[in-house]
Structure 1
Amino acid sequence: MKKILGWLHLWLGILSGMVVLIVALTGSLLVFEEELEHTFHSSFFYVAAPGNIPRLPLDQLVTIVKAQYDGYKTANLKIEPESDRSVIFLLQKSKTNQLYVAVNPYTGHIIEALPASKRFFTIVLHLHRYLCMGAVGKVITGISCSIFAFLILSGLILWWPKRNNRKQRFRVKWNASFKRLNWDLHAVFGFYIHLVLLVISLTGLVWSYQWVNGLLFYTFNGTFKVEKVTAPSSIAQQGSGYFEKVFRATNETLPYKGPVTITYGNDSLAIAAFKDNIAAETANTYDFLYFEAGTGRLLKTRLHKDESAGMKARRLVYPIHTGSIYGWPTKIIALISTLVAASLPVTGVFIYLGRKKKKPVAVRKKRVLA
């Protein structure tokens, strides 16, 4: 059984190794996406808070952006709770033509407009999910992710020590030969983070396959019906000055601290305002409110506490996958694990090459004995 598993582990690892390397390295960057982006592109996200001067009404900022980028349809705008943050607009003409616009909320000055296709982490994400190859890349990463889950389990079985050599399977022998050191780096490090990598790979399958997403809802809701967060139908009414009203009503209804995102642009749907509860026990905890366009009248409330068990579980998939579920501690664990995952194809290739070089020697010995 171990010989069969060893053969499958070897060749499936070779088959998926390059994809695993790319997905793991891009994944390690995405773990700290927000922190890295805010550090290296801080001018886009931060402004000088001018003392007691209040920020401009959101409706005025919306008017400025619409006038500047005529032809673009506004998808959403995000308002952070801190006073030194810019307001970020997402504009789009199509799914492939999107624009991020940062606006100073105190002056109305447009700080910068950044095409989504040129944003560094948009490129990283496309490489991570699609290998920058669209639907074909999604199929490849999905298959490779499935293979990787098998490699983790088969690797654990191959690693499993016998009673007389358990100690050496739990530590790296740093002063050993390159061949032994390489094997330890592959097997021992792989063992210590195998549970984390298994969870990351299995949660990744939720985006790759609809049936996995459906299975998640079936597990918690008893039905394969996938729930989606959609705004209710609402015919836009004539009116103005309602964006500021929506924002204030959202903060009054949901008084905890957190960024508010307002989505609009579809005249047949209500305006959706959702707030991230950054004080919640786990990340990705949102409450949704829906308002009538033109009047800002509250139409519907969708709170996280009232969601089904399936939807709550689905909301946890992203923070579990990225390691953000409990903040910095789990992010660091995810970062270390993804870097180790990126090293596994490399150390695995060296193990294969070491065995390949060994075979001709064994063959020559047999011939001499014959």
Structure 2
Amino acid sequence: MNETQKVHTQKAKKKKSIKDKARKIHLWTGLSTGLIVFIMAITGCCWVFKDEIKSFSHHYTTVKVQNKPFITATQAKVAAQKALPGKKIHGAVYGNKDQAIEVTFYEEKPKFYQSVFLNPYTGKVLHVEDHLSGFFAFVLRGHMYLWLPEAIGSRLTSYATLLFLAMVITGLILWYPRNKKNRKQRFRFIWKPTTGWKRKNFDLHTVVGFYISIFAFIFAFTGCVMAFNWFYFIAFKATGGTKAPQFIIPNSTVLKQAPKAQPMDELLPRLQASYPNAERFELHYPAADTASIYVEIFKTTGVYYNIDYRFYDQYTLKELSTPSIYGTYKDAVFADKLIRMNYDIHVGSIGGLPGKIIAFLASLVTASLPVTGFLMWWGRRKKKALPKDAQEKPDVVAV
């Protein structure tokens, strides 16, 4: 054997070694997390069009326009508190002239999350919605906790997402054919009338898996950003982030004697004048005497990344700055914007309706990969030999 042949042999052995390791990682991560990935992908499909579906059925969110001003933030708080006495108010959402005011209530322990919808002109209670019940609440619990206790379910879904990221990478390594002759059938289905179900299942896993891999990787990566603080921090710093990546609410200056008027009531008219084309304003009531009022200004329907977060002293309405990435969008740099886009990328809303359709279909197809991967593994256990039309040993084992 000459030197050239030795080099080729060593390269072939190295490639085989890499594929063997990738195959084992792919197999065992697939078998251990396949059911979890399936549930998360299916529930992800259902979640994508939540806002569109709810807009058809929630008629109490719209009202008849009247020629009078909206009730103030203080009046909205008082009216909503009567509907849910003793519960902690989080904020009030003011929309267009034909939209109800949504006052949100939230408590961490025990978990409580409800909204009171008010007529913006009279303060009349139109509806009380429990965000922890109903179809979409059920879907979200499945996606985030597998309908298990949160402490257990969140760990399972978080680490399954991280392992799924490894599965996508190892799947691509295994997908690459060992010889040129087999490359065509890794890009498209080449089925004959005599093609058996194992060959078809293998093609469904490999061909479909290849085309969906970029979307699967995005789902997994953005999921990891939300699931792990360390992953979030690394992703932020790796893209050049320098600000504080967490949400920071600056403090107000506590006055010895609070003013008799309610300064917060003057804030909405100011914001409406500054943002005439805003979709809605979410005013958050100060959680303590030292806290500031923070406002979220939504500029585009269906997305969150370009929200302006602004903070005001609750006594003087002086605007306060924050060292966080969550300030005004115009002041955000590339790393800030990328992190702020994470959720919108995850659900596809970053691309509008076409983006959501792509996310829905990609998530649905992703759910098929654990199924076809399991059938491949099960078929090999049942029968060692492959059909005649599938003599090449498949490179992908399971997802």
Q: Same fold (TM over 0.5)?
A: yes
Give the 3 Å change call, closer, same or farther, for CA 177–239 of structure 1 in structure 2: farther
- Asked whether 1:74 is paired with 2:89, we answer yes
Number of residue-to-residue matches in the alignment: 356
Question: Could you tell me which residue of structure 2 aligns to residue 63 of structure 1?
Answer: 78
Q: Counterparts of 2:175 and 2:68 in 1: how far apart (Å)?
A: 63
Task: Please tell me whether residue 318 in structure 1 is matched to residue 343 in structure 2.
Answer: yes
Give the alignment of 1:45-56 within 5 angstroms. Answer: 46-50=61-65, 52=67, 54-56=69-71
2:318 alignment counterpart: 298
Cα distance change on mapping 1:43 and 1:7 into 2, 3 Å: same
Tell me the residue number matched to 2:9: none
Task: Give how far 1:153 is off.
Answer: 1.4
Structure 1: how far apart are the matches of 2:65 and 2:305?
Answer: 31
Q: Distance in 2 between matches of 1:129 and 1:348?
A: 23
After TM superposition, give the deviation of residue 212 of structure 1 in Å: 0.8
Percent identity between the two aligned chains: 31
Instruction: Tell me which amino acid in the other structure corresponds to 1:321.
Output: H
2:283 alignment partner in structure 1: 262
| Residues 1:42 and 2:48 are matched in the alignment | no
**Which of 154, 160, 174 pairs up with 2:176?**
160
Taking structure 1 as reference, are residues 255 and 352 closer, same or farther at Cα in structure 2, changes over 3 Å only?
Answer: same
* In 2, Cα distance between equivalents of 1:239 and 1:286: 32
Unaligned 5+ residue runs, structure 2?
Answer: 1-16, 322-326, 388-399
1:342 aligned onto 2:367: yes
1:65, distance to aligned residue in structure 2 (A): 1.1
Which deviations, in whole Å up to 9, do the C-alpha atoms of 1:17-64 show, x marking residues without a partner? 01101111111122222112222x3234x3232454554444332221
In structure 1, give the amino acid aligned to 2:198.
Answer: K
* Residue in structure 2 matched with residue 186 of structure 1 by the alignment: 205
Secondary structure of 2:120's aligned partner? coil
* Contact 2:66–2:121 under 8 Å retained in 1: no
Name 2:297's counterpart in structure 1: 275
Cα offset for 1:245? Answer: 2.0
Is the 2:68–2:121 Cα contact (8 Å) retained in structure 1?
yes
- Deviation, 1:202, is 1.0
**Counterpart Cα distance in 1 of 2:240 and 2:279:** 29
Q: 1:283 to 1:265 in 2, by over 3 A?
A: closer
Aligned partner of 1:210 in structure 2 is: 229
Query: In structure 1, what is the Cα distance between the partners aligned to 2:363 and 2:307?
Result: 27
**5+ long unaligned stretches in structure 1:** 363-370
CA distance in 1, matches of 2:78, 2:63: 22
Aligned to 1:365: none
Supply the distance in 1 between the matched residues of 2:32 and 2:54 (Cα, whole angstroms).
Answer: 33
Structure 2: how far apart are the matches of 1:59 and 1:184? 62
Give the TM-score taking structure 1 as reference length. 0.87
Q: Which has the higher contact order (CA 8 A, sep 6+)?
A: 2
Q: Report 1:78-157 matches (<5 A).
A: 78-81=93-96, 83-95=97-109, 96-131=111-146, 132-157=148-173
Paired residue for 2:397? none
Amino acid at match of 1:292: D
Q: Are the equivalent residues in 1 in contact too, given 2:83–2:116 (CA < 8 A)?
A: no
Worse-superposed segment, 351-360 or 174-183: 174-183
Q: Secondary structure at the match of 2:156?
A: helix
Q: Say if 1:173 and 1:181, in contact at 8 Å, map to a contact too.
A: no
- Determine the structure 2 residue equivalent to 1:231: 249
Q: Give the residue type in structure 1 aligned to 2:355.
A: T
Distance (whole Å) between structure 2 residues aligned to residue 360 and residue 308 of structure 1: 56
Residue by residue over 1:101-150, the C-alpha shift from the partner in whole angstroms, topping out at 9 and shown as x without a partner, is 12222332212212332143333223212223212222211211111111
Distance 2:211 2:156 in 1: 27
Asked whether the 8 Å contact 2:63–2:100 carries over to 1, the reply is no
Contact 1:172 1:184 in 2 (8 A): yes
Note the C-alpha offset of 1:240. 3.9
The amino acid across from 1:192 in the alignment is Y
Alpha-carbon deviation of 1:338?
0.7
Aligned to 2:14: none
RMSD of equivalent CA atoms: 2.6
Which residue of 1 is the match for residue 395 of structure 2? none
CA displacement at 1:166 relative to structure 2: 2.3
Contact 2:313 2:320 in 1 (8 A): no
Rounded Cα–Cα distance in structure 1 between residues aligned with 2:63 and 2:44: 33
1:298–1:279: structure 2 CA closer, same or farther, 3 Å change rule? farther
**C-alpha distance 217-361 of structure 1, shift in aligned 2 (>3 A):** closer
Q: How many angstroms apart in 2 are the aligned matches of 1:148 and 1:89?
A: 38
Cα–Cα, structure 1 residues 156 and 360, in superposed 2: closer, same or farther, change >3 Å?
closer
User: CA offsets, 1:340-361, max 9 Å, x none?
Assistant: 1111111111111221221289
